[in-house]
Copies of this chain bind each other. A is one copy, B any other.
Amino acid sequence: MSLRHILLGILQQPKSGYDIKKMFDQVFNNFWGAELSQIYPQLRKLTDANMLTVQEEPSDKGPNKKIYHTTPAGKEELVQWLLSGPVTNTEKLAYLAQTYFLGSLDNNQQRLEFLEDLLEHLKIWHQTLLDVQQDMRQHFPDYPHGLPDEEFYPNLTLMLGVKKVGAKVEWAQESIELLKARM
């Protein structure tokens, strides 16, 4: 049940459900995702549990925003989650399972197409991450250890994001070469 805690983390800085969704899509895309249909009910649960308070605000566009703030109880819940140690769930990357079974396609052209599709997807994903990091670098051009807390820890996850996606793009490229060498 990590979503609950992630929402508390995000809401250290007050936001609406819709804002939170944008955060998942842009900043967290490398390690977490959630739909609005998950976010809204969870925000309600947390509010009922007195971990969040709501405050309505007019929006620039569209209907009123409901801005959620963390209560001290909410902050304490977040801290306890962090103190409980790293939560290490099993990764689920269906495309790697597909790659594993690619031998079940008897047409080599189809196998190549699969890997090329994958490479393209991974490159697009990489681009989003790089954009986010460049944005952050514009605001804070220092070496990372000089950043203030609110930027240092997010920056750590971006560092891994770039490494991880880099490894995947490299791998997909190499796999395509290997596959071509087999044709």
A contact set with B: CB distance below 8 Å: 2, 5-6, 9, 12, 28-33, 75, 78-79, 81-83, 85-105, 110, 114, 117-118, 121, 144-145, 149-150, 152-154, 156-157, 159-160, 163-164, 166-168, 170-171, 174-175, 178, 181-182
Contact = CB atoms under 8 A, between A and B. Distances in A.
Given A90-B32, A178-B145, A160 B171 contact: yes
Contacts of A31: 91-93, 96-97
Given A31-B93, A33-B90, A92-B92, A150 B103 contact: yes
B94 A88 contact: yes
Contacts of A166: 167
Q: Is the interface of A mostly helix, strand, loop or mixed?
A: helix
Contacts of A30: 91, 96
B101 A153 contact: yes
Q: Give the number of copies in the complex.
A: 2
Contacts of A154: 100
30 contacts: A2-B92, A5-B97, A9-B100, A9-B101, A9-B104, A28-B97, A31-B91, A32-B92, A32-B94, A33-B90, A79-B104, A82-B98, A82-B101, A82-B110, A86-B121, A88-B95, A89-B93, A89-B94, A100-B153, A100-B154, A102-B153, A103-B149, A103-B152, A103-B153, A152-B182, A156-B171, A159-B171, A159-B174, A163-B168, A164-B164
A74 to B, nearest CB: 11
Contacts of A82: 98, 101-102, 104-105, 110, 114
A79 B5 CA distance: 39
